[in-house]
Amino acid sequence: MPRISRRQWLGCAIGALAAPRSLAAFADRVVKNGRLKQSVSRWPYQAIPLPEFSRACADIGLTAIDLLEEADWPIVAQYGLVCSMGYAGGGTIRDGLNVVANHDAIVANFAKSIPHAAQLKVPNVITFFGNRRGMPDDQAIANCVAGLNRVKKIAEDHGVTICVELLNSKVNHPDYQGDRTAFGVAVVKAVDSPRVKLLYDIYHMQIMEGDLLHTIRDNHQYIAHYHTGGVPGRHEIDATQEVNWPAVCRGIVETGFTGYVAHEFVPTRDPIASLREAVALCDV
């Protein structure tokens, strides 16, 4: 090994302290097995500035942060992270794909934002089915398929997946139409694109359906992304709630899933400590 001067050594040491820390630099990071790619949703941690939160996520061993606005995508890249699910103007929970009048805006927004997502290696962008407002499911499915057919080529051309989220209508989002796996699968099957899939939120679907492992095994080919959250309450995924998270995560791994599972619970304790515990629990 060549000898270096004291000045060279000091320069290297100062440079290492000044540089953003890399994922590989932390021997105490939580992620050990890494069979499941884990991420975390930004919104429950809004009180922590994004640069500070990004550094904490990198320290834990996460490689991504979920549900970021387009302006934030480059910020997390500075910490060796990607945005695993981006907002790109895909409508809102209430006003989504089931209403044809919403399609033009969604198409225009995706046409603008999906190329940028591809440039920054954002693998997924989110959209929603919308509230029912008395619409029959068969009409809603037809409308959602029509809207997604207009944007699927944009996604296919850029290698970005459009994910439509399943949400519960019992507790958090009354009247949301995409509140059952079968509804979402019917839409995705009809669109028939490798770049249009479901965001299967485990918290929401436990409330609506339960039977998580069976549902995931039967429908994994239509799912590109997962969210976590303790049931009831959407808090820590620990012994205070009802889902067996290691079993669910092992079930996801066994399907051959290569996407992200993003934690989307609202911490009731120290937020970073709770996140570390969740990541360790799901590192199956």
CATH of the domain at 91: 3.20.20.150
> What pLDDT was estimated at residue 10?
36
> Is pLDDT larger for residue 24 or for residue 239?
239
- Asked if residue 91 lies in contact with residue 130, where contact means CB atoms within 8 angstroms, the answer is yes
The structural domain count of the chain equals 1
Half-sphere exposure of 151 (CA within 13 A, CB side): 35
Residue 163 inside a domain? The answer is yes
What is the distance in angstroms between the CA of the first residue and the CA of the last residue of the chain? 39
pLDDT at position 247 over 60: yes
Residue 90 inside a domain? The answer is yes
Residue 61 inside a domain? The answer is yes
Tens of pLDDT along 134-177? 999 999 999 999 999 999 999 999 999 999 999 999 999 999 99
Residue 33 pLDDT level (bands cut at 50, 70, 90):
confident
Answering whether pTM is above 0.75, one says yes
> What pLDDT was estimated at residue 28?
57
Residue 105 inside a domain? The answer is yes
- Asked if residue 163 lies in contact with residue 85, where contact means CB atoms within 8 angstroms, the answer is yes
pLDDT, mean of residues 30-35: 83
Q: Is 53 left (phi over 0), alpha (psi -120 to 50) or beta?
A: alpha
pLDDT, mean of residues 191-204: 98
- Asked if residue 155 lies in contact with residue 110, where contact means CB atoms within 8 angstroms, the answer is yes
Quick one: DSSP state of residue 277? Answer: H
Question: Which residue in the block uniquely carries the two structure tokens 């695993």?
Answer: 84
Q: Which residues contact 181 (CB under 8 A, 6 or more apart)?
A: 166, 198, 200, 205, 209, 215, 219
Quote the CA–CA distance of 222 and 194 in Å, as a whole number: 9
Residue 263 inside a domain? The answer is yes
> What pLDDT was estimated at residue 79?
96
Residue 261 inside a domain? The answer is yes
pLDDT at position 78 over 70: yes
Quote the CA–CA distance of 187 and 164 in Å, as a whole number: 9
Percent of the chain with pLDDT over 70: 90
In the beta sheet, which residues pair with residue 165? 128, 199
Tens of pLDDT along 41-57? 999 999 999 999 999 99
Candidates 180, 190, 184; CA nearest to 224 is 184
pLDDT at position 202 over 60: yes
pLDDT, mean of residues 2-6: 39
Residue 8 inside a domain? The answer is no
Provide the token pair at 63.
């490689």
58: domain range?
32-282
Quote the CA–CA distance of 275 and 263 in Å, as a whole number: 8
pLDDT, mean of residues 68-82: 97
What's the chain's average pLDDT?
A: 91
- Asked if residue 123 lies in contact with residue 80, where contact means CB atoms within 8 angstroms, the answer is no
pLDDT at position 101 over 90: yes
> What pLDDT was estimated at residue 29?
72
Computed from CA positions of residues 152, 160, 76, 270, in that sequence, does the dihedral angle turn out positive or negative? positive
pLDDT at position 6 over 70: no
Quote the CA–CA distance of 151 and 162 in Å, as a whole number: 9
Residue 7 inside a domain? The answer is no
- Look at residue 216 and give its three-state secondary structure: helix
- Asked if residue 24 lies in contact with residue 63, where contact means CB atoms within 8 angstroms, the answer is no
Helix (H) or strand (E) holding 65: strand 64-68
pLDDT at position 224 over 90: yes
Residue 188, CA distances (Å) to 26, 211, 237, 262 in order: 40, 21, 29, 21
